Amino acid sequence: MRPYDAFLLISFGGPEGNEDVIPFLENVTRGRGIPRERLAEVGEHYFMFGGISPINQQCRDLVEAVRADFSANGVNLPVYWGNRFWDPLLTDTVAEMAKDGVRDVVALATSAYSCYSSHGAYIVDIETAREAAGPDAPRIDLVPPFFDHPGFVDPLVEHTRQALERLPAGERDSARLLFSAHSIPTDMAEASGTPEQGYGPNGAYVAQLAAVARLVSERLGVDNAHEVVYQSRSGPPSQPWLEPDVNDRIEELAGEGVSSVVVVPHGFVSDHMEVMYDLDHEAADTARGLGMHFARAHAPGTHPRFVSMVRELVTERAAPDAGVARLSDLPTCPADGAGCCRVRPVAS
């Protein structure tokens, strides 16, 4: 396919054994001002699972599914995979592509929203990896955030319906839908898009998360109340991060007489460690400790519609006149993230 000669999946990376945990966390937090206690705490989450994050296997599964989908649909592109923080590292993958003679790459990040952590950092890391690979480095186009693509939204709809069905029948109509995303510092949220660019006062990240929560609820066709909550807060306590925290909100809801919650991790692409620990372990314990019913919807993962979305985004990018399927009217992020995702607030 022209103009591209390879597809690259870019992900976060995660440890795959106890000995990987500390070096992985050092990679993630280098220069980010994360308190030592928070690191020790997050390390324990990984050690609880033998130091194995599910994210790398989820990427292998996605790579296999994308390869199969490409070949079934006549998309003749080799598929590469590189991570920002753990093997296979993006720098090594870009060097390998250069060695293979790859010239023009279309890339997709396993991250659907706009903000420095979820988009800008990927752009910066691509540039770093290209510089390291030298003059033979391929050109790499990163597909912009795809939060409102039906291939992201519809798997969430299906998975939310399945989660509702896991609740006792009498609880389904009244269960609160809590759409959960990674908290980020409020200054990073505000820098992710301005009101002049068409976002609300809190920036693109918050506006996009609200739009997807609304889209999923509408397409579910149920009357359950829904709201956005945040998880996995990090950083020093003095720094404001997006709220409410999922656990705090569950406690408040219990006080208001809500007896069931369905948590939908719409801020993520797969059920990785932050979903497994912070939701299935922590938030579920919070809810059950308060006598509430709890169900957690799966992230898109390797849902066939998500996999076909990858192909659609790739082919649409190769033939821009085809137009990209989008379910919201929020503006799209510029490909280089200038003026929004590219802004990295100083860690305080």
Ligand X SMILES: CC1=C(CCC(=O)O)c2cc3nc(cc4[nH]c(cc5[nH]c(cc1n2)c(C)c5CCC(=O)O)c(CCC(=O)O)c4C)C(CCC(=O)O)=C3C
Binding-site sequence positions for Fe(2+): 182, 274
Binding of residue 166 to ligand X (CB under 6 A): no
Out of 182, 226, 298, 342, the only residue in the binding site for ligand X (CB under 6 A) is 182
The verdict on 38 binding ligand X (CB under 6 A) reads: yes
Kindly state whether residue 42 participates in binding ligand X, applying the rule CB under 6 A. yes
Residue 10 found at the interface with ligand X (CB under 6 A): no
Q: Given candidates 28, 123, 309, 327, which one binds ligand X under the rule CB under 6 A?
A: 28
CB contact burial 79-89 (16+ within 10 A = b; e otherwise): bbbbbbbbebb
Residue 330's nearest CA partner among 184, 200, 243 is 200
Which one, 98 or 340, has the nearer CB to ligand X?
Answer: 340
Annotation: binding site: 53, 122, 182, 274
Distance CA 336, CA 340 (A): 9
Q: Which CB sits closer to ligand X, 42 or 213?
A: 42
Q: Using CB under 6 A, which of the segments 31-39, 214-222, 252-260, 320-328 binds ligand X? A: 31-39
Binding map of ligand X across residues 121-160, x = CB under 6 A, - = no contact? ----------------------------------------
State in angstroms the smallest separation of the CB of 240 from ligand X. 12
Residue type, 58: Q
Tokens of 237: 């306590």
Q: Kindly report the backbone phi and psi dihedral angles of residue 262, in degrees, each rounded to the nearest multiple of 5, phi listed first.
A: -115, 120
Query: 346: how many CB neighbours lie within 10 A of its CB?
Result: 6
Name the residue among 180, 281, 161 with its Cα closest to residue 221: 161
Distance CA 148, CA 78 (A): 27
273 scored as a contact of ligand X (CB under 6 A): yes
Interface with ligand X includes 274 (CB under 6 A)? yes
DSSP character at residue 295:
E
CB of 342 to ligand X, least distance (A): 15
Residues 210-249, mask of contacts with ligand X (x by CB under 6 A): ----------------------x-xx--------------
Query: Is omega for the bond preceding 78 within 30 degrees of 0, making it cis?
Result: no
Contact status: 32 vs ligand X (CB under 6 A): yes
Residues facing 226 on adjacent strands = 177
Nearest distance from residue 21's CB to ligand X, in Å?
A: 9
Question: Are the C-beta atoms of residues 1 and 318 closer than 8 Å to each other?
Answer: yes
Distances (CA, A) of 333 to 32, 97, 155, 203, 323: 24, 27, 23, 12, 15
What residues make contact with ligand X under the rule CB under 6 A?
A: 12, 14, 25, 28-29, 32, 34, 38, 42, 53, 55, 110-111, 117-118, 182, 184, 232, 234-235, 267, 272-274
